[in-house]
Structure 1
Amino acid sequence: MRGYRFATIQGQSIEWALKRNCSISPAQLGWVYASLCVVSMGIAIGFWFQGATFVVPIAGLELLVVGLAFLAYARHAGDGERISLTGPLLVVELESAGRRERAEFNREWVRVGPRLDERSLIELSANGRSVCIGRYVRPELRAQLAQEIRRALRESA
């Protein structure tokens, strides 16, 4: 069995773990937000003592909006797709905003193809069910991922 670009091999199992590329974890983002709040409110309170009383509510509103944006980012930081091929099963697990979906396919019946064109999401289908994968792979690499999954389905059958 040749090496794979996107997959890892563990014994008789081949697994593709496709994750969102996040530059900061939700915990780190929380610390950044807390320090932003301290600095911003410290400056606002300084201006409040100088007589600019409207600065504190405006800074509070600004921090609320930034906090909501950070919360939306943090909810999706752990999103990803996990595809595993073990024995007769191809298992696809999709996670988005903490919600997890799972689909199992008999490897012998799985069709792998682009949904519309070579740069669109990859559609895995069998027995009337289908799942789209590849959201976390650059569009120009999706055809390579689809080819790799096809090869794994053929080789380890």
Structure 2
Amino acid sequence: MERIVQLETEIAELRKNLHEKENELYELKKNCVVPAPQESFQFESNLQYGQSNGGCNAEIGDKLPRWAIERYSRQILLPSLGVAGQARLCAARVLVVGAGGLGCPAASYLAGAGIGHIGLVDYDTVDVTNIHRQLLHGEADQGAGKVHSAARAIHR
């Protein structure tokens, strides 16, 4: 019986904390809004180089666009990250060398975290024998450059 009371007390405290964080997020969304940029994707195909830009284009300290606050709200709620940390992620640039078995998940997670600019470099083309472990590529991408296939998938 004692454990039940303890758990109910903990749950009540967690609900209160969640409510406070939701209110904090609401205030951040209300105060940190800038229009989303128009261009969010570029290719430089002659260099076998693609760049996926998450569209944030926030300089460190800038306000985040509303869509970024909504999309990354769970990360923003982390005390160690907050709005400033997410703005730094949006302003970050990362180059992923290789769009294969390791580069695909790395690029995918970087994009999911909100990295603003992701460069991809790979000389190879998509082959059906590799797509089971290179999850950014599909059968329809067979023969296409891995850079282009991965950039399209990240952009989605």
Normalised by the length of structure 1, the TM-score is 0.25
Q: Which has the larger radius of gyration?
A: 1
Indicate the structure with greater strand content. 1
Q: TM-score, normalised by structure 2?
A: 0.25
